[in-house]
Amino acid sequence: MEVIILPSSKEIGALAADAIEALVRRKPNAVLGLATGSSPLPIYDELARRHDEEGLSFTQAHGFALDEYVGLPPGHPESYREVIRREFTNRVDIAPENVHGPDGAAADVLAACDAYEQAIKDAGGVDLQILGVGTDGHIGFNEPGSSLASRTRIKTLLEQTRADNARFFDSIDDVPHHVVTQGLGTIMDARHVVLVATGEGKAAAVRDLVEGPVAAICAASVLQFHPHATILVDEAAASALRLADYYRRTYATKPAWQGL
Ligand code: F6R
């Protein structure tokens, strides 16, 4: 696990975009794992800018969303399918038919979850998975107590997560209780995971995921078992890390050829 502490979300977005750009230039049909929420927005802004100004192209790339609310009507502006479209895929040249999301409206949710797992496999697996982290340590919507080996399935949100996400809705009463999310096992299959977190509100979750024991109470801690996990945080999100100085020095002295 590599922990990189950067001054602000702008630098975080740029560094994550560097990794995605390098991947897409090396492998044009790369499979990207797409997170929603606020954390990845600077990444999507930077990728859209590089697309507009520098010709970065995603024509052959594929995208798979991490999760989706259950119970929102199709086309609801806060459904993650719409958010991904608005914040990223509509701003670049990725083919709409190459962008996928778990189906939160399926009549047979279990079958839809299995089909989603199969679709990721059929596409060759996720090359780079973008992640945020919840204040309770969730990745995707794998809330505390999630099986560390879980696959795509339905989950119930903690009230803490519903409260955190109420800012996207008119009222907390409108935040669904249920979601469909890639499992922790699904996320762990990605070849590279890049988790981004900013702000003091994420400090405890970042500490637990990076330096705490691997335990389902902090689902993101499973990333300690990932062979290629990059954690990009600002100073506030890094403020509870015991080894912050070590992470800073390691990055400052990192040989350029290593990349991310
Ligand atoms: C979103 C997702 C969630 C968010 C997390 C942090 O697709 O999977 O795990 O990444 O809730 O959300 P923000 O970035 O809004 O703080």
pLDDT, tens digit, 9 for 90 and up, residues 155-180: 999 999 999 999 999 999 999 999 99
Which of ligand 1's atoms lies nearest the C-alpha of 80?
7
Cα(244) to centroid(ligand 1), Å:
23
Give residue limits of the domains in the chain: 2-252
End-to-end CA distance of the chain: 11
103 is catalytic: no
CA distance linking residue 61 with residue 197, whole number of Å: 25
Nearest CA to ligand 1 atom 3: 140
Report the DSSP beta bridge partners of residue 196: 232
Q: 171: alpha, beta or left, given left = phi > 0 and alpha = psi -120 to 50? A: beta
Instruction: Retrieve residue 139's tokens.
Output: 């990745």
Cα(207) to centroid(ligand 1), Å:
17
67 is catalytic: yes
Nearest CA to ligand 1 atom 15: 37
Give the tens place of pLDDT for each residue, 190-240.
Answer: 999 999 999 999 999 999 999 999 999 999 999 999 999 999 999 999 999
192 is catalytic: no
87 is catalytic: no
With cut-offs at 50, 70 and 90, classify the pLDDT of residue 31. very high
Ligand 1 within 6 A of 101 CB?
no
Q: Give the DSSP per-residue string, the chain.
A: -EEEEESSHHHHHHHHHHHHHHHHHH-TT-EEEE--SSTTHHHHHHHHHHHHHH----TT-EEEESEEESSPPTT-TTSHHHHHHHHTGGGS---GGGEE---TT-SSHHHHHHHHHHHHHHTT--SEEEE---TTS-BTTB-TT--TT--SEEEEPPHHHHHHHGGGSSSGGGS-SEEEE--HHHHHTSSEEEEEE-SGGGHHHHHHHHHS--BTTBGGGGGGG-TTEEEEEETTTTTT-TTHHHHHHHHHT--GGG--
Cα(194) to centroid(ligand 1), Å:
13
Residue 259 has pLDDT above 90, yes or no: no
Tell me, what's the pLDDT at 74? 85
Nearest CA to ligand 1 atom 4: 132
Determine phi and psi for 154, rounding to 5 degrees. -85, 140
Give the tens place of pLDDT for each residue, 67-102.
Answer: 999 999 989 999 999 999 999 999 999 999 999 999
Give the fold, CATH level 3, of 2-252.
Answer: Rossmann fold (3.40.50)
Which of ligand 1's atoms lies nearest the C-alpha of 142?
9
Give the tens place of pLDDT for each residue, 3-24.
Answer: 999 999 999 999 999 999 999 9
Q: Which of 62, 76, 138, 192 is catalytic?
A: 138
Cα(178) to centroid(ligand 1), Å:
15
Q: Which of 67, 103, 127, 164 is catalytic?
A: 67
Amino acid at 216: A
